[in-house]
Structure 1
Amino acid sequence: MRYKNGREALPPSLLKEIQKYIQGDLIYIPKATEERARWGEKSGARKELAQRNAEITLHYTKGWTVPELVQKYHLSSESIRKIVVKTW
């Protein structure tokens, strides 16, 4: 991304309108079609965590205790409880 001078990039009427809100500062104008992906969607991390959490809940419903789940998934007992409560 490179810096562009507003006088060169924008029509004068639009430049005057923008100057009503901001003057002398840098401003980022995002692409019109750019939709940001949520965290972990591109890498697959979000899907992996959802699968792991479903597995934790399944084990819990089958009678596994919180300490057993802590040992298996290397999470805190509070994290295990949050996952189980959230999916119920």
Structure 2
Amino acid sequence: MTYIKATSVLPEELVKEIQKYIQGETIYIPKPGKTYKQWGTLSGERKRIDERNNSLKEAYRSGAPMGQLAKEYHLSIETIKKIIYTK
């Protein structure tokens, strides 16, 4: 995230209006909802985790015990439970 001086990108009237609410502080202005991407979608990590979780759930449904899955996937049993019981 980069910081941009408000007076260099916003009209003077808008800066004055914002100053009524906040002065000399850092303010985050989020992207519009349509341009927001979920965590990991660009890197492919979200897809990898979803595939891992689906594989884990399938193994559990096929009878693999939680302790074995925890060792195989290098996760705690509590994390295995969260994945298995999440829809």
TM-score by length of 1: 0.73
Deviations, residues 37-84 of structure 1 (Å, cap 9, x unaligned): 221111011111001000000010011101111121111111111110
Q: How does 1:1-88 map to 2 (within 5 A)?
A: 1=2, 3-4=4-5, 6=7, 9-27=9-27, 29=29, 35-87=35-87
Alignment: residue pair count: 86
Larger Rg: 1
Residue 5 of structure 1: how far off its partner (Å)? 6.1
Structure 2 runs not aligned, ≥5 long: none
CA distance in 1, matches of 2:33, 2:57: 38
- SS of the residue corresponding to residue 67 of structure 2 reads helix
Do the aligned residues in 1 keep the contact of 2:70 with 2:76 (CA within 8 Å)? yes
Structure-2 separation of matches of 1:83 and 1:21: 43
Structure of higher RCO (CA pairs closer than 8 Å, 6+ residues apart): 1
**Percentage of pairs with the same residue:** 43
Q: Is the 8 A contact 2:67 2:77 kept in 1?
A: yes
Whole-angstrom CA distance in 2 between matches of 1:9 and 1:21: 18
